[in-house]
Amino acid sequence: MVSLKRALLFFTVIFFAVAPFTALRAAEEAHHEEASKSQAEEIQEYSQHHLEDDYYFSLFTDKKAGKHYGFPLPVILIDGGLQVFSSGEFHHGESVVEKNGQFYKLHHGKIYKTDAAGTLTFDEHHHATNAKPLDFSITKNVVGLFLAAALLFWGFISLAGTYKKGPNALPKGMGRALEPLVLYVRDEMAMPNIGHRYKEFMPYLLSVFFLIFVLNLLGLTPLGFNVTGNISVTLCLALFTFLITNFKANKDYWKHIFWMPGVPVPFKFVLAPIEVLGMFTKPFSLMLRLFANITAGHSVVMGLIAIVYLFQQQLTVPGSIGVSLVLTLILTFLELLVAFLQAFIFTMLSSLFIGMAVEEHAHH
């Protein structure tokens, strides 16, 4: 009996001695879990911000110091006249800007008209319902487009200067890299898909191929561009293909859409709506494919970089840096291939759609 009491007393002492350390360990784990959750939300917010367009060209942000490193871009609004000012006046959405008696507030990457207090009204989905002015601002994506255009002008002016010297002159510098790609677009896309009228559409095909390719490459730089991952940009490119295809289409193209030859009359009424729908699904697929692939690539790269911050406890700091570095490098090389592949696919399909529209059918 005495031994049993001693044993119970012993276990009681051990339990109360160990309990504080167990509770402390549980509290530490809960704290780490809460910190990791907060850090994951912060990383997700940062990744989302990277994918979106911005009125401020941010290079990086020091949240502890509350400082943003970069430069503001010009805001150009039409609202009862022309309103031009620096996006820095918004102070990253914290301030209301007053111009000529009009008040503007930046909220989730959009500019809304408001009052002096910056009041915003929201619907049941927490979307701002305030009126928005006509916005022609120079945003980060517009800067990316200007930079890509400048690079293309520089490269092609160099290539054109070489050809002026004579038909046998060899390109130098940037022209040496551009010439094989120009010949590739002509010989592998335009001529096989369009036929003898290929020269008519070469300016557009070359423009769209090199624009997408250069923008995709700029998106892999530390500057953080995501122009082709913006649905508005891919919509505009797909719309150009749609307009060129339909405005240049011959009568045979329209005949095959609305009154397909060689098909029984009852089936013509069934096929016509399907063909009309196909006119719109083709550019829609162009728009969505480019947007989705580029956005997905940027999201995965950002996720791999986040390994450095999210798995420091499990992998240690050197381990998390090493894993993140290796995986990010591998994916970046893959993204270089995707940058070319998406430009190739968009241009190839555009030439195919144009070729179908201008094809001369043999009538028997």
Among 122, 138, 154, the domain boundary falls at: 138
- Is residue 40 in a domain? no
Q: Are residues 110 and 152 in the same domain?
A: no
Among 96, 114, 138, the domain boundary falls at: 138
Among 138, 158, 184, the domain boundary falls at: 138
Q: What is the pLDDT of residues 291-329, one digit of tens each?
A: 988 888 878 887 777 777 777 777 777 877 888 888 888
Q: What pTM was computed for the model?
A: 0.82
> What is the residue-wise DSSP string for 64-112?
TTTEEEEEE-EEEEESSSEEEEEGGGGTTTTS-EEETTEEEEEETTEEE
Q: Are residues 190 and 314 in the same domain?
A: yes
Q: Are residues 126 and 146 in the same domain?
A: no
Q: Are residues 280 and 337 in the same domain?
A: yes
Cβ proximity of 212 and 346 under 8 Å: yes
Q: Are residues 231 and 350 in the same domain?
A: yes
pLDDT at 26: 44
Q: Are residues 203 and 351 in the same domain?
A: yes
What is the domain extent for residue 117? 54-138
Q: What is the pLDDT of residues 5-18, one digit of tens each?
A: 454 444 443 444 44
pLDDT at 302: 79
- Is residue 133 in a domain? yes
How many distinct structural domains can be found in the chain? 2
Q: Are residues 83 and 148 in the same domain?
A: no
- Is residue 37 in a domain? no
- Is residue 334 in a domain? yes
Looking at this protein, which amino acid is placed at residue 132? K
Q: Are residues 305 and 255 in the same domain?
A: yes
Q: Are residues 199 and 217 in the same domain?
A: yes
Q: Are residues 166 and 154 in the same domain?
A: yes
pLDDT at 301: 81
Cβ proximity of 201 and 190 under 8 Å: yes
Cβ proximity of 220 and 332 under 8 Å: yes
Q: What is the mean pLDDT of the chain?
A: 81
- List phi, psi (to 5°) of 166: 145, 160
- Is residue 36 in a domain? no
Q: Are residues 271 and 319 in the same domain?
A: yes
Rg (CA), the chain: 29
- Written as six digits, the tokens of 278 are 């196909």
Among 152-166, 233-247, 332-346, the minimum mean pLDDT is found in: 152-166
128 by DSSP, 3-state: which? strand
Q: Are residues 217 and 238 in the same domain?
A: yes
- Is residue 46 in a domain? no
- Written as six digits, the tokens of 299 are 């999201």
* Angstrom distance (rounded) from CA 215 to CA 230: 11
- Binned at pLDDT 50, 70 and 90, residue 212 comes out as very high
pLDDT higher than threshold 60 for residue 357: yes
